[in-house]
Chains A and B, each alone.
Chain A
Amino acid sequence: MTGAVNSFSGRQPKAVQSALRVLEQVARAGAGVTAKEVSATLDLPSATTYRLLNILVGEGYLVRLPDLTGFALGHKIGVLIDAAVAPTVPAAAREVLTDLRLTMRFGVHLAYFTNAAVRLADVDSEYPPPHDEPFLNKNLHACALGKLLLAEKDAPSSLLSRAASTSVRQVPEDAVLRVELARVRADDLATQAGELDATSACVAVPIRSASGSLIAGLALSGDVEHAPAMSRCVPALRECAERLTPLVG
């Protein structure tokens, strides 16, 4: 079984191309398209089309609808969409952020969340965040925004890689992580002090949609010595997050 997988050397370009064409055709035709229709449109042999459709369904790129004849895009496509979308912040929201920045001597950053990642949407140019977006996403357990994301998940450890960067706090044991994330949920607030590196600290509050799901986070970043002062800013941060909710939701 695994032998067949290992011996695959990308020398079956026809099969891969056909699979991608099938995927594209389902996307173009819309939910409910049947195997016969896909086969006819693409002029592919029907047995090949059915096999490719079943593989794509098995891998989660497509779903077979409850009538068992129709197909639609599956949850894996969501991963592709998430990677392709770019965060855009409306002008009104940017003004709200500017107002807050004028009153703070800490970095004020707005991030959006996809299902599995933090995406920095509007960062403070005067007090830039201590790390870039890829670094945060590699160390979700150690940053305030990442903890907000993990706290939403039933299986948070599925988003964590054990091979985190060396300067960063180790990924905690599952039980420890669960307690920590339960705390984040209870307080509706995530913090980090000296976890991402020795010198920085952050606090973050969530921004939720009308249905209650997490869509964005508002974070403060600063020096680890000023962590107590940063926690005193939380009420102002929350107030700003509230003003942002209708603008980004």
Chain B
Amino acid sequence: MAKNLNVRASSPVAGLGRGRLTFVQVLAQSVSAVAPSAVMVTLPALVIPAAGRSTIGVFVAAALLMTLVGYCVAQFATRMIAVSGLYSYIAKGLGPRPGFAGGWSLVIGYACAAMASILGAGSYSTALLGRLGVPSTTASVALCAVVVGGFALALMIRGVQVSSRITLVVEAFAIVVASTVLVVAFVQSWHTEQQPRVLDDPSWTSSTVAFALLIAITSYVGFESASTVAREARNPLTAVPRAVKWTPLVLGALYAGAAYLQLAGPVHQSDSLTIVLALPPEAGGMSSEVASALSVLVEFGILASWLACVMGSVTALSRTLFAMGREGVLPSALGRAHSRFQTPYVALLVAVPVVVAVPIGYLSISGSPHDVLMGLLAVSAHGYVIAYVLVCIATPAFLRRIGELTVAPLVFGPLAAAIMTALVVWAALSHTFFAGTATAVYIALMAVGAAVFLVRVARSRGRLQNVGVYDEPVADDLLMTYQPWEVRR
């Protein structure tokens, strides 16, 4: 053959399992990393004061914007079987340095989301234990967080099939509970025939729109994480793009429904994290037993949602660290896969203790689970949004490089990037977006990443070329040495 095809004998990400996950499990990876049922009962309450009757519209607009991002992600996902999702995509589109910036940003996003979920799971299990008389102290929250972390770690090392199957069940339970409770609360408030809540539309300023939209966007982040399990999925080149395109739409429908139900009936947002949804008995004419039964159910549902989010976020985090380890950009031990379970066990063993320890430490200083949760989620949102902007810019660049650029990605990629950038700048300049600390923490963490990257690359220039590893086709996937009369494994 005249052309040099540069086909390796074995995949650069060999060691991770292959073809393990069904489409539904891939979809569950994306959905669980978003923790939609926790969002359903909390975020509309945050957005409603800012957006009033337009809340549904805001969630729909955010869904459309995320669908644009999903479209860009899908352009890569149909062409590469990634293990590190957006990290390898950005690297292939914009080169190794922006690639690492995007990848590290996503590492921050996944890690902080996982930390927040660990804390959420710890708080809700403590709240449930509290009903049995166990005191709800910082120590008990910490203990529960450690148990949740250990449980998730064991499952994820054991195998991606086991962990994703459990994630799927837990997430489905969480969504059903959240939907049921919202519908019950809605119907109850309807029956009392009280006046529907009169929403005084907030005075529309450009910054409130931007703020509401940004908050709504943060309720979709994580949807791209199916791209981190591509190697482990069956038919990854069709399953992953489909999951990434569908997740924002499915979530958009759930959120719009949740927002609608909460627009009509007041759902009180208490400052304490442990009772996100306090159902006031007098509001719905509900007996206090019904209300408290609903509260228990909600607590179970949200606990499930946080648990699934721990698994989803840490799965995505560990795969991204695994890829960085394989490339040598981070210590190569992170790129080791378990020989029997075929999971990135070193990356998991490194990531999970950090993900458990940071929120506990933060909580012991701050004392308010609510503040810690919000702080972590704000840092995490920075990580995601920056990575999204980069991947949208990378899309036309990547397609141009491989000679497959068409009009649609050339329009949609920069459009999505421009809208997101505009929203961030808009909200930041108008001072309604109080996230100064989170921004500072994010910038500091990015600086740490940049320092590590520069040191590692300076030690060995070859590492720069390795950035963006994915599951390449190997000689056996091609028919170059094909023998019809032969049985293969």
Interface, chain A (partner B; CB < 8 A): 1, 30-32, 34-36, 46-47, 50, 54, 57-59, 63-70, 72-75, 77-78, 81-82, 85, 87, 112-115, 149, 152-154, 209, 213-216
8 A-B contact pairs sorted by A residue (CB < 8 Å): A1-B246, A36-B403, A47-B406, A65-B7, A66-B7, A68-B79, A77-B479, A215-B485
- Of the candidate stretches B57-65, B211-219, B470-478, the one touching chain A is B470-478
Q: Which of B455-489 contact A (CB under 8 A)?
A: 472-473, 477-480, 482-489
B339 CB to closest chain A CB (Å) equals: 15
What separation, in Å, do the CA atoms of A66 and B1 have in the docked complex?
16
- Interface-centre pick from B1, B2, B5, B487 (highest chain A CB count, 10 A): B487
Please measure, in the bound complex, the distance between the C-alpha atom of A215 and the C-alpha atom of B486, giving whole angstroms: 5
CA distance A36 to B403 in the complex (A): 7
Asked whether B238 is an interface residue with its Cβ less than 8 Å from the other chain, the reply is yes
- Let me know if A65 and B5 touch, CB within 8 A: yes
Beyond the given A46-B404, A70-B5, A85-B485, please list 6 additional residue pairs across the A-B interface where CB-CB is below 8 A. A35-B403, A66-B472, A68-B401, A77-B479, A81-B484, A216-B485
Q: Which residues of A contact B472 (CB under 8 A)?
A: 66
In angstroms, Cα B235 to Cα A59, docked, is 7
Contact B406 A46, beta carbon cutoff 8 Å: yes
| Cβ–Cβ contact B477 & A75, under 8 A | yes
A contact patch SS: mixed
Give the B interface residue count (CB, 8 A).
37
Q: Does B78 contact A (CB under 8 A)?
A: yes
List the B residue with the shortest CB-CB distance to A155.
Answer: B489
Partner of A34, one of B403, B478, B485: B403
A69 contacts which of B402, B407, B483 (Cβ < 8 Å)? B402
Hey, which bits of chain B sit against chain A, CB under 8 A?
1-3, 5-8, 78-80, 92, 235, 237-238, 242, 246, 401-404, 406-408, 472-473, 477-480, 482-489
Chain B residues with Cβ under 8 A from A215's Cβ? 483, 485-487
Contacts of A78 in B (CB 8 A): 479, 482, 484
Interface of B, secondary structure class, is loop
**Residue B1 contacts which of A32, A85, A153 (CB distance < 8 angstroms)?**
A32
Of A66, A72, A149, the residue contacting B480 (CB under 8 A) is A72
CA distance A154 to B489 in the complex (A): 6
> Given A35-B404, A47-B406, does the pair A113, B3 have CB atoms closer than 8 Å?
no
CB contacts (< 8 Å) of B3 on chain A: these are: 30-32, 70
Residue of A nearest to B81 (CB): A64
| Cβ-defined contact, A73 with B479, below 8 A | yes
- Indicate whether A32 sits within 8 Å of B242 (C-beta atoms), given known contacts A68-B92, A73-B479: no
Question: Contact at A67–B486, with CB atoms within 8 Å?
Answer: no
Task: Kindly provide the distance from the CB of A61 to the nearest chain B CB, expressed in whole angstroms.
Answer: 11
Given A47-B406, A74-B479, check contact A65 B79 (CB 8 Å).
Answer: no
A35-B403, A63-B478 given; A214·B486 CB < 8 A: yes
Docked Cα-Cα span, A201 to B137, in Å, equals: 73
* Bound CA span A68–B6, Å: 11
Min C-beta distance of A48 to chain B, whole Å: 10
Q: How far is the CA of A31 from the CA of B3 in the complex (A)?
A: 8
- Assess A75 versus B479: contact at CB under 8 Å? Given A31-B1, A70-B5: yes
Known contacts A66-B7, A68-B80; A112/B478 CB under 8 A: no
Q: Specify the chain A residue showing the minimal Cβ separation from B478.
A: A72
Distance in angstroms between the alpha carbons of A74 and B477 in the assembled complex: 6
A1, A68, A74, A114: which contacts B485 (Cβ < 8 A)? A114
Contact B487 A213 (CB under 8 A): yes
Name the A residues within 8 Å of B7 (CB-CB).
65-66
Closest A-chain residue to B473, C-beta based?
A63
- Given contacts A54-B237, A58-B78, whether A66 and B8 have CB atoms under 8 Å apart is yes
CB distance from B270 to the nearest CB of A (A): 40
Q: With the chains together, A36 CA to B235 CA distance in Å?
A: 25
A64-B473 contact given A36-B403, A47-B406, A73-B479, CB 8 Å threshold? yes
Judge whether A113 and B487 touch: CB under 8 Å: yes
Minimum C-beta distance from B478 to chain A (A):
5
Across the interface, B478 reaches (CB within 8 A) one of A31, A54, A149, namely: A31
Q: Contact at A1–B242, with CB atoms within 8 Å?
A: yes
Nearest first, the 6 A-B pairs at minimum CB distance are A32-B3, A58-B237, A58-B238, A214-B487, A66-B472, A152-B487
A46 to B3, CA, bound (A): 23
CB-CB under 8 A from A35, the residues of chain B are: 402-404
Q: Are A85 and B6 in contact (CB under 8 A)?
A: no
In the complex, A58→B81 CA distance in Å? Answer: 10
Q: Using CB atoms, name the residue of chain B closest to A249.
A: B485
Asked whether A31 lies within 8 Å of B5 as measured between CB atoms, the reply is yes
Chain A residues whose C-beta falls within 8 Å of the C-beta of B489 in the assembled complex? 152-154
A72 to B311, alpha carbons, bound, how many Å? 37
Residues of B within 8 A of A112 (CB): 485
Q: Please, how many angstroms separate the alpha-carbon atoms of A153 and B480 in the complex?
A: 22
